[in-house]
């Protein structure tokens, strides 16, 4: 009995709902990608999309299942190509039979991504056809060929990455700055041009920082005024701090702030001593001075309590500014009594548990606020007091001398650093550099105090010109550094250089300083009075 062998061929037919039998059609999609957005590449992108649409629609055995196309994206990482990931998800869901693509390099430049994807889809019965290489993922030789071809594509990607890095290196060395739109600047013909209305906000942000406002409180201030970011969003701590640290606002540009450490993943990290940085000075017109910018950097770095001034956004003008003359503790705004007898006072929080800590009286809130406004108007109506105030501020803002001394020390240190590179084992040079660094830090702090005082002085002088027509425009914190009050007496302290914490720590010394202005004040209704003094503390 002889054996009989029959060939059973696959039946590539399907039956529709009406029972009509026809050839089973393949659900076909195409993937296109260009890695840059230059005009010629955009044309290539459009051509790929149009070509594959025509190819699929013109084949009677194909069902058009979409064109998936990533424009201006690198092929080194699949997960960063949204259209690619959507196509793979559709294939895994059983909605695709065939994927057409121009070449392996268009599909992916990463060897692992290419082989992994091909194998996953092959197990699901989904075919990928690479047109340029004329190869199908169902071909038995595909794994070997893909390893070689995708390795070539990956090497091409590495070569492109090296070329791009070389181009950037050349631009950086030549000080070429790519101008991109940031808050405060428009970009015209590739150059930074100041946006005047936004520049006012940038100036305000820097000046508030010099007055020891925290970034979070600056954000609250801007949001309360209805000011929006460049994207129309509310301000946050992060956006304010980013602006304060951006050297472009003082007309400079730091190049290569980040570096790419892996051409496949495109992962970038901060350039902390990884590669050369380039600092371009006077690249464009500044919004703030370099001195102001440098001073703000010192404030951002300094976290000590002595450097804080506790300025913050508050609907109550003396919050955090007013202390008790007996114990030096902050007075809190508080409502006392109920009903018709309810009134608002500044309370010293006399008790901690059951222990009486301070027996000072509670000054009336409204009376103190009225006295504060009256004292400011008295200052600006008295030329002798104003002149005395300006003299004290000017004496403490000796910026020209400080600038000269600071520049001389920095120039000397730059010379010493060059000598140190030539003689790295010379301990004398190294010790002199460290000694100069200490003196530079001290001088920078003095410059900071001078710049902060200068900003306050400019504000005070602006009030002289405005003639104090509107009380709501007054910022008490820019005039007074500290307020010391009880029910009988209020002392308003102006200090050109001392922070609020420093003044509080020496409040007893402050009380002994001779006043430059004094007055017995009666409120508008004539029902209450308080004696106040204004003191200058250097």
Q: Which domains are delineated in the chain?
A: 22-160 (3.40.50.1390), 195-251+287-303 (3.90.1750.20), 253-285 (no CATH), 322-536 (no CATH)
Helix (H, G, I), strand (E, B) or coil at 16: coil
CA distances from 466 to 245, 373, 455, 461, 476 (A): 33, 15, 17, 9, 15
The predicted pLDDT at position 306 comes to 47
Please name which of 199, 192, 257 lies closest in space to residue 227, comparing C-alpha atoms.
199
In this structure, are residues 293 and 287 in contact, taking their beta carbons and an 8 Å threshold? no
In this structure, are residues 219 and 240 in contact, taking their beta carbons and an 8 Å threshold? yes
Q: How far apart are CA 341 and CA 334, in angstroms?
A: 14
Residues of the chain with pLDDT under 70: 1, 8-23, 34-45, 72-80, 109-112, 146, 149-169, 172-176, 256-269, 271, 273-275, 303-314, 349-357, 396-398, 465-473
Q: How far apart are CA 199 and CA 481, in angstroms?
A: 27
Q: How far apart are CA 52 and CA 58, in angstroms?
A: 10
Structure-token pair, residue 29: 């999609």
Q: How far apart are CA 307 and CA 497, in angstroms?
A: 11
Predicted TM-score of the model (pTM): 0.59
Structure-token pair, residue 127: 């075919």
Q: Characterize 413-443 residue by residue with b for buried, 16 or more Cβ atoms within 10 angstroms of its Cβ, and e for exposed.
A: beebeebbeeeeeeeebbebbeebeeebeeb
Segment holding 156, helix H or strand E: helix 142-173
Angle between helices 427-466 and 399-422 (to 10 degrees): 160
Please name which of 349, 307, 342 lies closest in space to residue 328, comparing C-alpha atoms.
349
The predicted pLDDT at position 176 comes to 67
Please name which of 181, 172, 170 lies closest in space to residue 256, comparing C-alpha atoms.
172
Structure-token pair, residue 292: 């102001």
Structure-token pair, residue 471: 């009380």
CA distances from 346 to 324, 343, 358, 483 (A): 9, 10, 13, 12
The predicted pLDDT at position 419 comes to 82
* Cβ count within 10 A of residue 533: 19
Contacts of 5 (CB under 8 A, 6+ apart): none
In this structure, are residues 244 and 209 in contact, taking their beta carbons and an 8 Å threshold? yes
**Residues 360-389 pLDDT 10s:** 788 889 898 899 989 988 888 888 888 888
In this structure, are residues 476 and 493 in contact, taking their beta carbons and an 8 Å threshold? no
- Where are the alpha helices (H) located in 212-255, listed in sequence order? 215-224, 237-244
In this structure, are residues 291 and 210 in contact, taking their beta carbons and an 8 Å threshold? no
The predicted pLDDT at position 307 comes to 46
**Please, is 458 exposed, middle or buried when counting C-beta atoms within 10 Å of its C-beta (0-12, 13-18, 19+)?**
exposed
In this structure, are residues 115 and 123 in contact, taking their beta carbons and an 8 Å threshold? no
In this structure, are residues 99 and 87 in contact, taking their beta carbons and an 8 Å threshold? yes
Q: Cα-flanking dihedrals φ and ψ of residue 510, to 5°? A: -60, -40
> How are beta strands 489-494 and 529-536 bridged, if at all?
parallel
* Cβ count within 10 A of residue 219: 22
- Where are the alpha helices (H) located in 330-483, listed in sequence order? 365-380, 383-396, 399-422, 427-466
Angle at 9 between CA 8 and CA 13, to 5 degrees: 130
């Amino acid at each position: 009995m002889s054996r009989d062998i029959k060939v059973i061929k696959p039946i590539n037919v399907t039956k529709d709902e009406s029972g009509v039998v026809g050839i089973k059609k393949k659900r076909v999609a195409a993937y296109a990608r260009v890695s840059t957005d230059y005009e010629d590449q955009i044309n290539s992108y459009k051509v790929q999309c149009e070509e594959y649409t025509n190819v699929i629609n013109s084949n009677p055995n194909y069902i058009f299942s979409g064109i998936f196309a990533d424009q201006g994206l690198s092929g080194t990482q699949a997960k960063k190509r949204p259209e690619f990931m959507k196509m793979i998800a559709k294939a895994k869901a059983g909605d695709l039979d065939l994927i057409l693509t121009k070449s392996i390099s268009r599909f992916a430049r990463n060897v692992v991504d290419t082989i992994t994807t091909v194998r996953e889809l092959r197990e699901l019965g989904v075919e990928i056809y690479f047109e340029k290489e004329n190869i199908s993922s169902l071909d038995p030789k595909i794994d070997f060929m893909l390893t070689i071809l995708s390795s070539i594509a990956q090497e091409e990607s590495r070569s492109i990455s090296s070329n791009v890095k070389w181009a950037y290196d050349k631009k950086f060395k030549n000080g070429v700055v790519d101008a991109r739109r940031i808050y405060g600047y428009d970009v015209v013909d590739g150059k930074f041009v100041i946006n005047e209305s936004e520049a006012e906000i940038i100036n305000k942000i820097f000046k508030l920082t010099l007055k020891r406002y925290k970034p979070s409180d600056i954000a609250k201030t801007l949001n309360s005024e209805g000011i929006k970011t460049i994207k129309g969003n509310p301000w946050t701590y992060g956006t304010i701090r980013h602006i304060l640290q951006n050297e472009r606002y003082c007309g400079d540009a730091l190049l290569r702030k980040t570096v790419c450490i892996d051409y496949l993943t495109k992962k970038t990290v901060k350039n902390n001593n990884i590669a050369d940085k380039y600092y371009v000075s006077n690249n464009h017109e500044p919004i703030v001075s370099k001195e102001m910018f440098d001073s703000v950097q010192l404030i951002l770095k300094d976290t000590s309590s002595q450097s804080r001034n506790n300025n913050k956004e508050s609907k109550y003008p003396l919050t955090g500014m007013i202390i008790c003359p007996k114990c030096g503790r902050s007075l809190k705004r508080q409502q006392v009594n109920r009903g018709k007898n309810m009134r608002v006072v500044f309370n010293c929080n006399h008790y901690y548990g059951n222990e009486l800590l301070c027996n000072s009286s509670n000054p009336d809130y409204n009376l103190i606020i009225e006295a504060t406004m009256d004292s400011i108007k008295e200052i600006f109506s008295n030329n002798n007091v104003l002149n005395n105030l300006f003299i004290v501020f000017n004496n403490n803002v000796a910026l020209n001398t400080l600038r000269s001394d600071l520049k001389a020390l920095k120039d000397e240190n730059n010379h010493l650093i060059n000598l140190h590179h030539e003689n790295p084992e010379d301990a004398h040079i190294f010790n002199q550099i460290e000694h100069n660094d200490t003196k530079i830090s001290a001088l920078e702090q003095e410059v900071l105090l001078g710049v902060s005082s200068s900003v306050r002085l400019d504000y005070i002088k602006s009030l002289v010109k405005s003639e104090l027509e509107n009380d709501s425009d007054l910022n008490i914190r820019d005039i007074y550094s500290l307020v010391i009050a009880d029910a009988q007496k209020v002392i308003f302290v102006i200090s050109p250089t001392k922070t609020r914490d420093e003044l509080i720590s020496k409040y007893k010394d402050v009380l002994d300083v001779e006043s430059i202005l004094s007055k017995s004040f009666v409120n508008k209704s004539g029902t209450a009075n308080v004696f106040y003094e204004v003191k200058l503390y250097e």
